[in-house]
Each structure stands twice: as structure tokens, then as C-alpha cells.
Amino acid sequence: MSPKLKIWLMLMPALTVITLLFLGGLLLGLARSFNYMPVIGLTDPNVDAYIKVFTNPEFYQALGLSLYIAVTATALATILAVASALLLRETFPGKRIITFLFQLNLTIPHIVGAVAMLFLLTQSGFLARIVHFFGFIERPAGFPILIYDDFSLGIIIQYVWKEAPFMGLITLAILQSMGDDYEAVAQSLGANRWQRLFHVIIPLITPGVMRAYVVAFAFTFGAFEVPYLIGKTYPTVLPVLIYYRYTDVDLAMRPEAMAMALVLAVISTILIFTYMAISRRFTRVD
């Protein structure tokens, strides 16, 4: 058997699954969004669904909210991740505990994180009670609204809580493989701590951190579970809006849901590619 044939044979199962389920799903969704599904008797394609989507202010609201949450949460998570990684680089008593906590966090799914934030951050939640215990507030109403709120703060906090350890461990791995030689050079040439951070460490870790950022951003942008539980019902993020449309009693909503889903997929892909292009130009490493 020719080696080339062997390669494609080994790839066959994976490619089949991806083509049938993933690409197939996208294509079917695309067809359905054009109201074209011979399988259930729809043979008249039209763009009605798309027109409805693009003229619907609700869609843009949802899109904007998804973007806002993804950008804010991932940015905050990145800052926290880099700071943690710099801290974890050094040796200190308790380092193993913190490293373990980071890894532990990775095993906790977002849905549990959402529930945890629900218990923690409501106005009568655990954090509010602790704050009350120390005398900072009198009643639940004194605690800021973080769940089902207008700024999606609880959602953002959850994503930061989950993404920061993930990105932190990746950053730590990058720092460790980088070694501290470059910093030694910079220091011997007169760079103080902050200068070393901005001129040496950050440029060197940016390529790797950007990749992690992109993964985290993509996930947060298309995420359903967390806003579904602790987000406002209206306005909500795009994936949840799509779900509501799809499961609406009125079946005519379905093509609209599909259209929105496909637009979501396209926007997500464009955003990712844009990020990657920007990061490549920004880092200018060979």
C-alpha cells in the first residue's frame, strides 16, 4: 500500500466525522436558512429569513452583547493569566497548592461555574452575606446587582474565573520554556523590572498567549450555557437568542434561527482570522 494512501486511510475516520457531522451540519443549516429542505418538503429557497434577521434590532443587540462579553472577559482573563504566570514562575511556599488550584479549575465545567456564580453573586448570595458580615452592607439591596444584570457582570466574572487559569497555565508553560536568559541580558543592559516586562517578557510571550486568547475568545463568543443560566432573558446573547427562536412554538421561526446561527458562525470565523492576522503582524517573529 502506498504511503500516501495509508495516510489518507488513517485520516478517513476523522475526516468522515468532520465532513458529515460538522460540515454537513453547517450546510444543512445553511439550506434550512434558505428555507430549502426537500427532506421535509420545502423546495422553494428564499432569503426571507436573512432579511428578517438583518432588519431585526434584537439581532444586533444580541450580537453586540456577545461581542462585549467576549472581548471584556477574555481581555481581563489574559491580564490575570499573565500576572499569575509571572507569579507562579518563582518558588514560594504554597506554590504547589496554587498550581493545583489552577489545574483543578480546568476540570470544572462552565455549567458548574455558572451555578457557582449564581450561588455566590446574587444580592443575597454567599459573597453578599460575607460582605454583610463585615458590616459593609445592611440588606441584600445594598449589594450590587451582578446576576441577571445589564452589564452581564456575573457572566464576565464566570468567564474570567474559568479562562484565567487556562490561559495562565499555558502562559506559565511558555515562560518556563523561554527561560530567563533574555531577561538577564536586558537587566545587564540596564532595564528595570517594568522595562523588562514590557520590552522583553510581553513581546516574547505574545505569540503563544495570542493563540490561547483566540481559543478563549472563540469559546466565549459562541457560548450558550453561562448566559442561559445567569444572564438577563432580554436582551440576551446571540446563541441564547438563536435557541429561543429555534425552540419557539412558531415553526416559522426556525429558518430565522438557522440564519442567525450561520451569521454567528461566519462572524466568529471572520473575527478569529482577523485576530490571527493582527497578531502575526504585531509580533513579527520569524
**Residue ranges in 203-262 that form contacts with another protein under rule CB under 8 A:** 203-204, 208, 211-212, 214-215, 218-219, 221-225, 228-229, 239, 242-243, 246, 257-258, 261-262
CA distances to 100, 169, 171 from 93, in Å: 13, 19, 21
CB of residue 50 to another protein, shortest distance in Å: 14
8 A C-beta contact, residue 176 and residue 89: yes
CB of residue 113 to another protein, shortest distance in Å: 7
42: β partners: 37
CB of residue 120 to another protein, shortest distance in Å: 5
CB of residue 151 to another protein, shortest distance in Å: 19
Task: Using alpha carbons, select from 212, 196, 215 the residue that is nearest to residue 89.
Answer: 196
Site for another protein in 46-65 (CB under 8 A): none
72 or 256, CB closer to another protein? Answer: 256
Pattern 156-185, another protein, x by CB under 8 A = -----x---x---xx-xxx-xx---xx-xx
Report the residue from 55, 92, 249, 250 that binds another protein according to the rule CB under 8 A: 92
CB of residue 127 to another protein, shortest distance in Å: 7
Report the residue from 51, 54, 64, 112 that binds another protein according to the rule CB under 8 A: 112
8 A C-beta contact, residue 68 and residue 150: no
The count of residues interacting with another protein (CB under 8 A) is: 120
43: β partners: 36
Residue 89 within binding range of another protein, rule CB under 8 A: no
Q: Where are the alpha helices (DSSP H) in the chain?
A: 3-17, 24-33, 48-54, 57-89, 95-107, 110-121, 126-133, 153-178, 181-188, 193-196, 202-221, 225-230, 238-246, 253-283
Residue 148 within binding range of another protein, rule CB under 8 A: no
- What gap in Å lies between CA 178 and CA 283, rounded to an integer? 16
Residue 67 within binding range of another protein, rule CB under 8 A: no
| H/E stretch holding 151 | none
Report the residue from 192, 249, 251, 281 that binds another protein according to the rule CB under 8 A: 192
23 or 51, CB closer to another protein? Answer: 23
Q: How many residues does the chain have?
A: 286
Report the residue from 125, 152, 153, 256 that binds another protein according to the rule CB under 8 A: 125
CB of residue 74 to another protein, shortest distance in Å: 14
Report the residue from 56, 145, 187, 235 that binds another protein according to the rule CB under 8 A: 187
Contacts of 166 (CB under 8 A, 6+ apart): 81, 105, 106, 212, 216
37: β partners: 42
CB of residue 105 to another protein, shortest distance in Å: 6
CB of residue 134 to another protein, shortest distance in Å: 10
- What gap in Å lies between CA 166 and CA 50, rounded to an integer? 37
